[in-house]
Structure 1
Amino acid sequence: MSHNPLACPPRFRRLLRYIDEHLQSELSIDQLSEVACCSRFHFQRQFAAWMGLSVGEYVRLCRLKRASLQLAFRQLPVTSVALDCGYQAPESFSRAFTRLTGQAPRQFRLQPDWPGWASHFDPLSRHRSRQMKPLLTIEQVDVVEVPAIWLAVLEHHGDPRLLGDSIRRFIRWRQQHGLSPQRHATYNLFYNDPEQTPAAEFRLDIAVAVPQPVSDSAAGITSKLLQGGRCARLRHVGSDDGLGAAMQFLYGQWLVQSGESLRDFPLYCQRLRFFPDVAEHEAELDLYLPLAPLATEQQASPGIASG
């Protein structure tokens, strides 16, 4: 059973994936209209009517979004960031970045203005989440038994627009302790919905799997046990802009049809492939919805244990 009606023609979904894959390349109107199987005489008007942005503005925002995350979360030289995002010279990249965000690339790298950043890129996220909803089916969800895992956790409390600062702190701490994403799995625990929660009450854990409890109060790192148990697992491929729709599918479609009951433990994910290291539509994570034990199992309902 299909969950979402097709939000846009398949040829335009293919076009958006193509743009994500080729942000470093020259993207002409003739080239993009050919990918969209659309007459170049009508392409620009069709794209703007469907997406709510001109194709030129859409490409520019996608390029600068990727660039901003590379600047904030990765240690790439500004010149490399500029080339990777389709700018032939760092000077033109710097002008475009500063004009949009109000901060020069190096200034943004040192101290990002995340609320200002959100005001420029949230419209792009809204358009993408509306037009690129994941196409999900019940068959994509499986029920798995998850082992208990120790996590080193940085808790984010407050305005979700400032989450980038918490991510930067956590990345630095991981690097200092040699906990690379390639060898130590990355998790997020979702305590509430940012769309329905006052900003001051928003909570999210940023976590890494560790072999034993770890605590670093100076860095704000605590230890938590991700309790083992049954979970519904759904692979989400693509931008976090579609993550809310994937969560709604688990609660609103799969859970109702499965007849399962929920465990007293938050929804969480394991991140597998990261944007901006891969194209945005290629990012991957597994969502885990904790389920109650089967009636035949004799075990207590688990929670989050702090170490």
Structure 2
Amino acid sequence: MASPLGHAPPRAGEALALTELWTDPLPLAPPARVETGFLLSTLDWIESDTGAPRTIEAAAERVGMSPFHFHRRFAELMGETYGAYVRRTRLAHAAALICRSSTSIIEASLRCGYGSQAAFTRAFSRQFALAPNRLRAMAQAQAPLPQRLHVDLVEPAAPVRLGALPLIGMRFHGPLTQVPAHWQHFAASLKAAGLPLETMTAMGILHDDPGFTAPGQTRYDCAVVDTASTFPALRAPLRRLSTHAGSFVRLDVEGPYPLIPEAVFGVCAVWLPRHRRALGEAPAYEMYRAPPWRGTGGIHASVLVPCSP
């Protein structure tokens, strides 16, 4: 599972973008829309368990390719090698756990698939140019303080349980400012596949904390709840997936899309500490009460931020 969105993007002049600390050169940008079947299957498999081994040999075998051919195709389509992608996304997840919550460094390393803290610290330091404890201290010192907006947004928030919902989704990469455009592309793909837009409930899935992921690499799934077994067989770029069951903090948001990351920040900076909860392991979800592809300029959604029970 990928890192939840644990913080709003740093505001101008308030905090250093921590991605600037990376010592390795940034990879090429991934595709704005992932449209290849084997690649979608692989990404879902990687994200299904961030603590499990995900070797290139196992990944290639799953999709019926040789490791050599899989390695070449993955790098060609994603702009970085398979190993680099797994390492980068898992370390970004670990950075979010360490810097946005009270998760211990050893626990973060285990939850991200590292067998020893020493190996984790070496890999982490190569990526962020700082040891985990130093990055935590810097992030805490530079974190923007919650504003009145965040306090007001989370005032009606409440804990809820979410079951595993079957979804039909499409994977996008890019900054959160592009999310409204993602929904337009997704709606066109649903319509082309013959799915009934007018009866479908939309859900957005935010996989990455923007403080630790470059904007062009931010992962976002546009999805709809899969409520009918009579839907036609799906072809890439559409695929079936599901939400993670568990505990979440729910709050309603109405207005321009940038209120979504502000709401998530409010939950993490205000609601979770107030209620002595920690960030959970799932992504953050947006459950829309009005179709986001209508292009009205505003959103009507319930934001679900994962939390400890």
Using the size of structure 1 for normalisation, the TM-score is 0.46
Give the number of the structure whose alpha-carbon radius of gyration is greater: 1
After TM superposition, the score normalised by the length of structure 2 is: 0.46
Which of structures 1 and 2 has the larger relative contact order (alpha carbons within 8 angstroms, sep 6+)? Answer: 2
